[in-house]
Amino acid sequence: MSLSKPQKEGLTATLSKPEDFLNWEHEFLLQAHRLGLQQHLKSKTFLGDEPAIPDIRKRRYTKTATAQRTIRSHTAESQDGTPDDIQETVNGTWSISDLTDQGQKIFQQDLTFYQLQEKIFEKQKNALGTLQDWVIRTVSPSLIQTCFAEIKTAFAAQRDNYPLRNSVILDPGATISITNSANRLARFQQAIPGDFIWAGDRKLPILGYGTMTIRITGTRVLMLGDVAYCPRLLTTLVSLRQLRKKGFYWDNRRNPTTLRRLDRTIACTIHDLYGQYVIEYQSESFPKAAFAAHRFSSHTKRAPLTGEAIRWHSRLGHPGPQALEHLISASQGVRIRGPTTVECDACGISKIKRQNRRAPRQSDQKAGERIAIDFHDYQEGIGGYTSQMLLTCRATGYIWDYYLTARTTEAIITAFKSFLSHLEVQHGLKVKVIECDNEITEIKPKIGDFLRNRAIIIEPSAPYTQAQNGGAERSGGVVKDKERAMRTGAKLPHQLWPEIGRTAV
């Protein structure tokens, strides 16, 4: 179908009164011929129904034997069914892997045919929109107001020259972010057939999802995940809900309004253009290929992450100043503004130590041969956990953490079995010595018997002398310091201590 642009120069026909209709009709037919719509005029049919995406649930796409066992009873296979019957699965949704080779072949053929029909549909829609524009330009406004008010409204609604078509606007009511340009998306994944969005009273199909990059300033960008691709949408929408989850809020107290971070710093200015709040403005002439040229992908170098020293200190779990100095030279894409010496109130409160001096235990063992054990009690947290068991390799300093709902003999023995099996199977290591306090030798002697039966030497510390179990006490103290600093700095509830502990370890 030819889509030549309609002639704009030299047209004299206008429709301002009934006597002008014959000349105007002649010019109208010429325009329709140039746009390839003459056949539609003869048959009096224009834009047909939008092609439907193939529904993978249909019976015609045969399922594998394994997948057929998950079909719900009222939609199961039967001899009386038709190829277009819908089959539901108890697993929620079908995937392409649930189809047989023949089913996948038929589905891919239907999908290819759908994409071809979609292109034809879009071409016809564009041609019809161009013809509608010509009608509006050549018909007198007074005649439109008196005779064709409804037609004018319908024509204007389908115009494609929307000034914000290539721009990004903020939508407080959207539940997801949506783009009309596939060039904006990286890591694109095809959508499940049947995904759609509501636009007014119409369903618009979603063809896929990906990661979208928005240029909020000249050099700074914002990346959003799970952005839907809907080519029939007029512009790109960014969900305010999604921005709030990423730590932004819309400050509309001033003019122009701004998008701010939780620390009240301005991320970008939002402009009021064409009746919309625009985050990124691109003119209609902006080439779509430029989106692909400027987006981040696995082949492009990301912009470095820049932040104050205190921000990186919090990101990395409250390390010391030497670690921050090492971060700049040992990491890629990291910049720290200002001095790397951090004065953190959370660290000052959480890392206060009693000063003492003891000679360290001499240890010549290899990795995994000497293990120091320590227990820490907490208030009940998520999952019902009340105790933390830390096992530290004295040779390497590596720590394994186990969480117990009850600090009983059976629970500790179960943790030991898991730990010893993990070392032996995964790393080929066997524990020879256990450093501990008196809990597993005197208070819970069955644990000591269990370890001795496995030819493991137990070295308990003297009663009420924690310093003798320095390996475990020190590693446990470091972990607890990190936990307190992370919980205090982030203002997290105490019940999250198991998750904070896993992060600290």
Band of pLDDT at residue 334, cut at 50, 70 and 90? low
* Distant-in-sequence, close-in-space partners of 171: CB < 8 Å, separation ≥ 6: 237, 238, 239, 240
* Structure confidence at residue 35 (pLDDT): 82
CATH class in words for 370-504:
alpha beta
* DSSP count for the chain of H helices, then E strands: 15, 19
Which of the following CATH numbers is that of domain 168-294: 3.90.1200, 3.30.390, 2.40.70, 2.60.40?
2.40.70
* Structure confidence at residue 235 (pLDDT): 87
Q: Alpha carbon of 405 to those of 277, 386, 483: distances in Å?
A: 52, 5, 19
Alpha-carbon span 473 to 470, nearest angstrom: 5
* Structure confidence at residue 325 (pLDDT): 67
Does 49 have pLDDT greater than 60? yes
Alpha-carbon span 36 to 1, nearest angstrom: 6
Does 157 have pLDDT greater than 70? no
If one compares 230 and 156, the residue with the highest pLDDT of the two is 230
Q: What percent of the chain has pLDDT over 70?
A: 75
**Lowest-pLDDT choice from 100-104, 247-251, 288-292, 393-397:** 288-292
If one compares 221 and 179, the residue with the highest pLDDT of the two is 179
Alpha-carbon span 143 to 156, nearest angstrom: 16
The DSSP letter of residue 209 is E
Alpha-carbon span 243 to 257, nearest angstrom: 15
* Structure confidence at residue 194 (pLDDT): 78
DSSP secondary structure of 194-206: T-EEEETTEEEE-
Q: Please write down the long-range contacts of 374-381, taking CB distance under 8 Å and 24 or more positions apart.
A: 374/436, 374/437, 374/469, 374/472, 374/473, 374/475, 374/476, 375/407, 375/439, 376/476, 376/480, 377/407, 378/494, 378/497, 379/494, 379/495, 379/497, 380/495, 381/494, 381/495, 381/496, 381/497, 381/498
DSSP secondary structure of 360-387: PPP----TTTEEEEEEEE-S--GGG--E
pLDDT digits 0-9 by tens, 61-84? 888 888 777 776 545 545 556 777
R_g (Cα) of the chain, nearest Å: 34
* Structure confidence at residue 206 (pLDDT): 87
* Structure confidence at residue 418 (pLDDT): 92
List the end-to-end C-alpha distance of the chain, in Å, as a whole number: 65
Alpha-carbon torsion (63, 67, 71, 77), positive or negative: positive
- The token pair that represents 220 in the structure block: 């700074």
Does 254 have pLDDT greater than 60? yes
* Structure confidence at residue 12 (pLDDT): 58
Band of pLDDT at residue 255, cut at 50, 70 and 90? confident
The mean per-residue pLDDT over the stretch 22-28 comes to 81
Band of pLDDT at residue 414, cut at 50, 70 and 90? very high
Does 5 have pLDDT greater than 50? no
Q: Which candidate, 444, 458, 366, places its Cα nearest to that of 404?
A: 444
Does 421 have pLDDT greater than 80? yes
If one compares 313 and 154, the residue with the highest pLDDT of the two is 313
Domain pair 168-294 / 370-504, same fold: no
Q: Judge if the upstream peptide bond of residue 256 is cis by omega within 30 degrees of 0.
A: yes
**Lowest-pLDDT choice from 162-166, 362-366, 423-427:** 362-366
The mean per-residue pLDDT over the stretch 427-435 comes to 89
* Structure confidence at residue 136 (pLDDT): 78
In a 13 Å sphere around the CA of 163, the CA atoms on its Cβ side amount to: 6
The mean per-residue pLDDT over the stretch 36-44 comes to 71
Bridge partners (DSSP) of residue 269 are 258
* Structure confidence at residue 9 (pLDDT): 42
* Structure confidence at residue 10 (pLDDT): 44
* Structure confidence at residue 61 (pLDDT): 83
Does 363 have pLDDT greater than 60? no
If one compares 497 and 202, the residue with the highest pLDDT of the two is 497
* Structure confidence at residue 109 (pLDDT): 86
If one compares 51 and 381, the residue with the highest pLDDT of the two is 381
Q: What percent of the chain has pLDDT over 90?
A: 5
Does 7 have pLDDT greater than 60? no
The single-letter code of the amino acid at 138 is T
If one compares 12 and 343, the residue with the highest pLDDT of the two is 343
- The token pair that represents 272 in the structure block: 């009021």
Alpha-carbon span 228 to 235, nearest angstrom: 12
Does 273 have pLDDT greater than 80? yes
Q: What is the mean pLDDT of the chain?
A: 77
Does 199 have pLDDT greater than 50? yes
The answer to whether 275 and 269 are in contact (CB under 8 A) is no
- The token pair that represents 212 in the structure block: 């979208």
The mean per-residue pLDDT over the stretch 424-446 comes to 86
* Structure confidence at residue 8 (pLDDT): 46
φ, ψ of residue 261 to 5 degrees: the values are -85, 170
**Lowest-pLDDT choice from 155-164, 188-197, 230-239:** 155-164
The mean per-residue pLDDT over the stretch 207-223 comes to 83
Residue spans of the domains in the chain: they are 24-51+109-157, 168-294, 305-344, 370-504
* Structure confidence at residue 223 (pLDDT): 85
For the beta sheet containing 387-393, the strands, ordered from the edge strand earlier in sequence to the opposite edge, are 399-404, 387-393, 370-377, 433-436, 457-460
DSSP secondary structure of 217-243: SSS-EEEEEEEEE-TTSSSEEEEHHHH
If one compares 493 and 148, the residue with the highest pLDDT of the two is 493
Q: Note the Cα 453 to chain centre separation in Å.
A: 50
Phi-psi region of 275 (alpha: psi -120 to 50; beta: other; left: phi over 0): left
* β-pair type (208-215, 185-190): antiparallel
Alpha-carbon span 61 to 57, nearest angstrom: 7
If one compares 281 and 39, the residue with the highest pLDDT of the two is 281
The mean per-residue pLDDT over the stretch 430-457 comes to 87
